[in-house]
Structure 1
């Protein structure tokens, strides 16, 4: 069930159990010894939907779909990716919380420009494209075809990715989603950094235990509404129901109650619908969380977003506004470092936590290879 392709630029053979059936891929799962070096210097890594991918050597330059995968690479001690889908949504300011870890986006290519040009991949000439190819062919089929994917893999380097941040894509129903750490482990195999990955797993296990200790009993957990807000159009919001994608990881683990779960409000992913202040007041969540605001500091968020709500006759009646419980709602994309930072922030916001739930210095040590 393999098909072989010759890479004209690197003169190696890559095998894949899935690319020929791009729309309904269900590649085998693999890991452990299967992801290690083989008899020569080459090695293979297996992940849905791309199947089994052979690497002639460890990639040095790479392209990432979004901040989830970019953050995984940084956690694994790699240089930043040459390009990501939207650099503005790769929030590198989170690294300010970690000693001796920083990432500059200067020169990082934006892959999306009202669509995508396949030629961009040729210009970047990465050693691996950490992108779910189905994301490109299903969401941007007018720009990127399956034959474009095959050409890029033949001429440049393979695709290796799974769209993990949201479970709202109908085209993803034919192959498994991965959890954050499942995906992280696969990328660790690609970069041959499984020891760093295992250090993060250990740190994450301790972190989750600490998080569980601060979560209140079921009857005391707050009801939260997560929405996308735009500063210039306050009063019209895209609602998000808390789901299984990695972008909701911190809210699942803090065990908040979803204000929209038992209402007629439908997730933005499925309807592209909006809600207004009147609908929000009927639900009246205890906590309001706005996505799309991560580039702002807490002070900027208050001055530019919360202040508008306090000045609106309907919005000021909301319990969350009256109690000063309107916050930035976290990123769409989070990797292992980002998740630690934004979960810590969320715990402080929702549960008044004043203890550090993870050790930033240990994160730094792992990233910098001091373990």
Structure 2
């Protein structure tokens, strides 16, 4: 961590102090009011990736000061780009890497298990987490740790901070007054939000780009994503000719026989590649998900009754990277050995695929989208290669272009 001498302290404390005063005095009432008025609304679909005028970075009377608003916790003022910051989930870590800000990452939840293998496939980009403080690898962090880190911004929303750090709003107010704001939002999926609004991946990327004043990088990743999805979907067969695809996990809660079928149309960046490749249009469980949940709990008989052509396995990429687990033995083995599960078409034909990390930002999103297209349509896009790089001729997006954007060459 850099030396934070007395000369640094007034600057950071001042923008916290005056940022709070501006919000309290009502000068940002439109932005803050927007956050508060929708804080209890439960979204029915993922927000569009177009930010509203009151929800974007706004320039203040000070030429070098700016505010960024992010639901559900309102607006924060910055008099300079944060040099050091803490992040929790892997998705936002991927976001700050995409925006070229890795050098400022001081702490994250589980840095030792961050999936650096994706970045190994990007020429000239090296992601090392050795110097990043682990917030949760050794249990719940003490509040004092945040004083010790002394970052310029906690890119973590209030709700995740309370959920994972056992802090309450008074603790967060104290840390925001004495250290730095908690500025972020839970974007993975609707679970655990208590009805809070949330952002789609690229809308959230815009918010973080506003914090770091790297909007061109954010725009470039959005363009790469849109081009990739357009090129893939242009090659897909008619819906009636596509394989039926179930999105589920099994062997996950200990008994090895319980099936959790997840709704691929649920909002959040966890399911974004599924929605982008139009999986909900050929989901054999469509219409069966409860109104108050995005998954169905059942057994192998349920799976056989629906009999999907293919299965994409929730967080399967985490299993591939786990040195203590094996996808073939721990996931596929129990399915093949079970008298009912083995009769499911996807299992019998070997069409059970690992899919996605628990988290994804714009870089991992490109890889996960490519992987999903290859798994479901290998005759069009080539065989999936898991964590291994596909041959250059079989790559669906340009790794060198990704490297250039991360480096700021947009």
Query: TM-score scaled to structure 2, two decimals?
Result: 0.77
Deviations 1:137-169 (A, max 9, x none): 3x469x211111111111111111121111234
Partner of 2:260: 238
Which runs of 5 or more structure 1 residues have no equivalent in the other structure? 1-5
Checking the alignment, whether the CA contact within 8 Å between 2:67 and 2:76 is kept in structure 1 is yes
For the residues of structure 1 that align with 2:399 and 2:83, how far apart are their CA atoms?
26
Counting only pairs closer than 5 Å after superposition, residues 132-281 of structure 1 correspond to structure 2 as: 132-137=157-162, 139=163, 143-169=166-192, 171-173=194-196, 176-230=197-251, 233-242=255-264, 243-256=266-279, 257-263=282-288, 266=290, 270=293, 274-281=297-304
For the residues of structure 2 that align with 1:358 and 1:111, how far apart are their CA atoms?
33
Q: Report how far residue 126 of structure 1 moved.
A: 1.9
For the residues of structure 2 that align with 1:73 and 1:37, how far apart are their CA atoms?
24
SS at match of 2:316: coil
**Equivalent residue in structure 2 for 1:302, among 305, 317, 328:** 328
Counting only pairs closer than 5 Å after superposition, residues 84-99 of structure 1 correspond to structure 2 as: 84-87=108-111, 90-99=114-123
Deviations 1:237-266 (A, max 9, x none): 433112111110000011112333233x55
Query: TM-score scaled to structure 1, two decimals?
Result: 0.84
Deviations 1:293-332 (A, max 9, x none): 3234399422432123222222211111111100112123
Q: Report how far residue 63 of structure 1 moved.
A: 1.3
Partner of 1:337: 363
SS at match of 1:45: strand
Checking the alignment, whether the CA contact within 8 Å between 1:128 and 1:158 is kept in structure 2 is yes
Which runs of 5 or more structure 2 residues have no equivalent in the other structure? 1-8, 24-28, 41-50, 383-393
Structure 2 residue 128 is matched with structure 1 residue 104 = yes
For the residues of structure 1 that align with 2:134 and 2:249, how far apart are their CA atoms?
22
Structure 1 residues 309 and 32 mapped into 2: Cα distance closer, same or farther (>3 Å)? closer
Checking the alignment, whether the CA contact within 8 Å between 2:318 and 2:358 is kept in structure 1 is no
Checking the alignment, whether the CA contact within 8 Å between 1:90 and 1:333 is kept in structure 2 is no
Checking the alignment, whether the CA contact within 8 Å between 2:55 and 2:69 is kept in structure 1 is no
Structure 2 residue 402 is matched with structure 1 residue 363 = yes
Structure 1 residues 152 and 49 mapped into 2: Cα distance closer, same or farther (>3 Å)? same
For the residues of structure 2 that align with 1:281 and 1:337, how far apart are their CA atoms?
36
Partner of 2:14: 11
Checking the alignment, whether the CA contact within 8 Å between 1:215 and 1:255 is kept in structure 2 is no
Checking the alignment, whether the CA contact within 8 Å between 2:56 and 2:207 is kept in structure 1 is no
Checking the alignment, whether the CA contact within 8 Å between 1:91 and 1:294 is kept in structure 2 is no
Q: Report how far residue 47 of structure 1 moved.
A: 2.2
SS at match of 2:333: helix
For the residues of structure 1 that align with 2:251 and 2:361, how far apart are their CA atoms?
24
Aligned residues: 359
For the residues of structure 2 that align with 1:197 and 1:140, how far apart are their CA atoms?
28
Task: Report the aligned-residue RMSD.
Answer: 3.3
SS at match of 2:246: strand
Partner of 2:391: none
**Equivalent residue in structure 1 for 2:106, among 82, 88, 105:** 82
SS at match of 2:76: strand
Partner of 1:129: 154
SS at match of 2:274: helix
Q: Report how far residue 62 of structure 1 moved.
A: 1.4
SS at match of 1:119: helix
For the residues of structure 2 that align with 1:244 and 1:60, how far apart are their CA atoms?
32
Checking the alignment, whether the CA contact within 8 Å between 2:116 and 2:128 is kept in structure 1 is yes
Structure 1 residues 107 and 226 mapped into 2: Cα distance closer, same or farther (>3 Å)? farther
Partner of 1:289: 312
